[in-house]
Amino acid sequence: MSAIAAAFAAAKVEHRAVLIGYLPAGFPTIDGAAEAIEAMVASGVDIVEIGLPYSDPLMDGPVIQAAVDQALRTGTTTADVLDTVRRISATGVPTLVMSYWNPLERYGVERFAADFAAAGGAGVIAPDLTPEEAADWLAASGAHGIDTVFLAAPSSTEARLRLVAEHAQGFVYAASTMGVTGARSAVGSRAAELVERLRAVTDKPIAVGLGVSSGPQAAEVAQYADGVIVGSAFVRCLLDADSPADGVDAVGRLAAELASGVRARSVVS
C-alpha cells in the first residue's frame, strides 16, 4: 500500500475525509514556503501538494498565478522544488508534486521520477497529462513507486471517467467546477454529482478540489468525498499577510479550521 493510499485508509477508519493542502514551492521564499507547509501539517493537513512553479499555469486562477510568478521571479528551480519535497516528506506526511507536464519533460521523465522518489515524494499530479499520453511517465513513476493522480471534470463522459479511474493511483482528483483554481463562496452541486458518477466506476478514493476555502465548505464536501483539496485559500493567507511570520500563522489557523471541517461530517464508511 502506498503512503497516499495508507492516508486515505487511516481516515476511513476514523470515518472522515482526508485533508489535502497545496502551496507552491518558492513562495514567498524557498524557506518561507517550507515553513508554511510545515504549519499546514502541524495543524492537521494529511497530504501535501507542492506546486512546481511554471510560466504558463493554464489551470490556475489569479491567486496561484500571482504566487507562482513571484516564485519564478525569485529564481525557484526544479531542484528547489525537490529540496522542498525532501524537507516536507521528512515530516512523515505523504508529499505530492503538482506540476504541468512541460517542466517534467524538460527535466527528463526518468530523471525526475528517480530524483523525486529519492526526495521521499509519494505522488505526482500533472493536470494537463492525460492517461492516453502518459505511458512514458507511468513506466518511470511505476519503476520508482510513485503514484500518479489523474483529473476528472464535470464535463467528462462515462468513458472518460472509466479511463481516468482505471489509471489513477492514490486517488482520483475530481475538479468541482469547469474553470480555473480559486476560492469560491460555495462549492457547486456539480462536485457531488461528479463524485457520484465516479463511485459508479471505481472504488478508489475520490478527492474534490477547486473552490474549498473554509471549514463549513470542507465539512460539506466531506459528506460525499474521500478527500478535500484546498489550494488558493492557503496561498491567499500568504499573499495577504503583513509579514512572512503572519502568513505562516494564518496558514496554520486555516489548516486547523479545515481539519475540524473534514472531521465534522463523516463520509460513507
pLDDT, averaged across the chain? 92
pTM for this entry: 0.92
pLDDT at 180: 42
Question: CB neighbours of 269 closer than 8 A, spacing ≥ 6?
Answer: 12, 15
Is residue 122 a contact partner of residue 97, using CB atoms and an 8 Å limit?
no
Question: 51-65, 91-105, 109-123, 214-228: which has the minimum mean pLDDT?
Answer: 51-65
Give catalytic status of residue 115 as yes or no: no
Is residue 48 a contact partner of residue 95, using CB atoms and an 8 Å limit?
yes
DSSP 61-83: -HHHHHHHHHHHHTT--HHHHHH
pLDDT digits (tens, 9 = 90+) for 56-105: 767 777 888 899 999 999 999 999 999 999 999 999 999 999 999 999 99
pLDDT digits (tens, 9 = 90+) for 244-264: 999 999 999 999 999 999 998
Q: Which of 35, 38, 46, 60 is catalytic?
A: 60
Is pLDDT of 268 > 60?
no
Give catalytic status of residue 60 as yes or no: yes
What domains lie within the chain, and their CATH numbers? Answer: 3-148+211-264 (3.20.20.70)
Q: Which of 35, 46, 49, 80 is catalytic?
A: 49
Distance CA 169, CA 149 (A): 5
pLDDT at 28: 95
